[in-house]
Each structure stands twice: as C-alpha cells, then as structure tokens.
Amino acid sequence: MEKIESYFQIENGIVIGYHSDEIDNTLLPEGTKMVKANVENPDLLLGLDEKFIKENDREKIQEVSNNFFIETQKIPIKDSIKKRLKSLLIDIKLAEELDEDVTELRKQFNTLKKEYKSVHKEDSETKKESILKVNAGRTRTITLPNNESNLNGTIEPENENIQSVQWTKTKGGSAQIANPNNLSTTVTGLKKGVYEFTLSVTNDLGAEATDTVKITVKNEDPKEQ
C-alpha cells in the first residue's frame, strides 16, 4: 500500500486526528500539536500513542489498533468522538480559509455530532436510573406540649450533584417547615394527629427521588389520646 503524507494532530500523547495539509499552529486548540509523517493507513493510528506514528511494522500497528477498538467498543466512546469533532472543525476552518468546498467535511461533522449526542444521552439515562437514592429519616412519635420535630434527609451517593431539595407536608394538619429546601430542617406548630412529610431531590441530570417520613403527635394527657 502506498504511503500517504499526513499531518497528525496529537493531544496528551494520543493521535486524535489527521489532515492532508499542514495546519497553522494558531488554529490548533491549546495543548495539541502536529506531527508530519508518511504512513500507509492514517486511520489505524487514531486513538493510539504518538510513538506508533514512526512504527514501520504495519502488522503490529494493525494488531494494536484492533485491540484498541475491542477495548473501547465495550464502553461509550464519547471522549474519542469529541476529539474527532475537534479535528474536523479544524479541517473545516482551514478549508474555508482556502476557499475550498467544505460540504463533505460538514456532512462528516454532522454525522459524528449525532453519534456524540446519542452516546451522551445513553450515558445520562443510565446515570439517571442508577445513582440517586433518598432517605427521609426514621418514623417518630412526639408528645405535646412539644410541638416540633427535626426532618433529617440523606442522599446516596453523598457527593451527588444536587439541583433541588424540597420538603412537603403530604398528610396531617397545619405545620410550618422552617427551611423546606434544606436536607435537614425543623417542622413546628404540630398538633395531635399523624403527619407525613415527603422529601423530593433532583440531581443535575434531572433524575428525581422521593421518600416519606411519618411523625405521630400525641396529647400529653393519656385520657385525651
């Protein structure tokens, strides 16, 4: 196979794209560089270590490339797609500067963009379904004249990115929640009866989880209970 003169775009030691023409360094994203080389099949080097650009053993490169594909196809390749999108943007910008037709490049970019969004959506949906758990605390009983109680909610995992917290009274008479947007707060003004308070939490991906705690309020005089 005939060798092709290519300009490889390198980021953190990894080949993320290649171009048929030399790119002005000022057009490159920060932290990337270009390496010129004559290779038989530039596509095989995408995603591989920079050292393989100078590797003369085509069979070895093919084997490493195949192994890389096998390993990465098992997980979402969002980052790899994003790097390729960056490379295509550079190609489009250069072609426009040279007054060249960018129709095919834009077609490739839009196709890859749809793939990226699809992978991103799958990642988000998986995370929505699996991570957020809420606990509104233990059931409790209080006796008048004590007419207040703590509401202590927890979430799992503790480092979850929370978008909103909301305590709501879902059963019982009048009561005042001091800070309904805090995981831990106080409810006052309770009267004899059974109350339920529901904790709703939403994370930054839009996943919502809820849990409810019951508080029973008894009268101080047993004869009136």
Is the Cβ–Cβ distance between 113 and 89 less than 8 Å?
no
**What's the whole-number average pLDDT of the chain?**
79
**Chain mean position to CA 175:** 39
160 to 78, 121, 140, 152: CA distances (angstroms): 22, 19, 27, 17
Is the Cβ–Cβ distance between 23 and 94 less than 8 Å?
yes
pTM confidence score: 0.45
Is the Cβ–Cβ distance between 45 and 76 less than 8 Å?
no
Domain boundary among 70, 103, 130: 130
Domain boundary among 77, 107, 130: 130
pLDDT of 63 reads: 61
Domain boundary among 83, 115, 130: 130
Whether residue 70 is predicted with pLDDT greater than 70 in this model: the reply is no
37 to 7, 45, 68: CA distances (angstroms): 7, 11, 21
Mean pLDDT across 121-149: 78
Residue 53: which pLDDT band, with cuts at 50, 70 and 90? confident
pLDDT in tens, 167-203: 999 999 999 999 999 999 999 999 999 999 999 998 8
Q: Give residues with Cβ within 8 angstroms of 156, minimum separation 6.
A: 131, 132, 133, 134, 135
The answer to whether residues 189 and 98 belong to one domain is no
Which residues span the domain enclosing 210?
133-224
First to last CA, the chain: 93
Residue 17: which pLDDT band, with cuts at 50, 70 and 90? confident
- 7 or 143: which leads in pLDDT: 143
The answer to whether residues 126 and 137 belong to one domain is no
The answer to whether residues 117 and 150 belong to one domain is no
Residue 163: which pLDDT band, with cuts at 50, 70 and 90? confident
Is the Cβ–Cβ distance between 152 and 183 less than 8 Å?
yes
The answer to whether residues 40 and 115 belong to one domain is yes
When divided into structural domains, the chain yields a total of 2
The answer to whether residues 26 and 100 belong to one domain is yes
The answer to whether residues 179 and 207 belong to one domain is yes
Whether residue 73 is predicted with pLDDT greater than 50 in this model: the reply is no
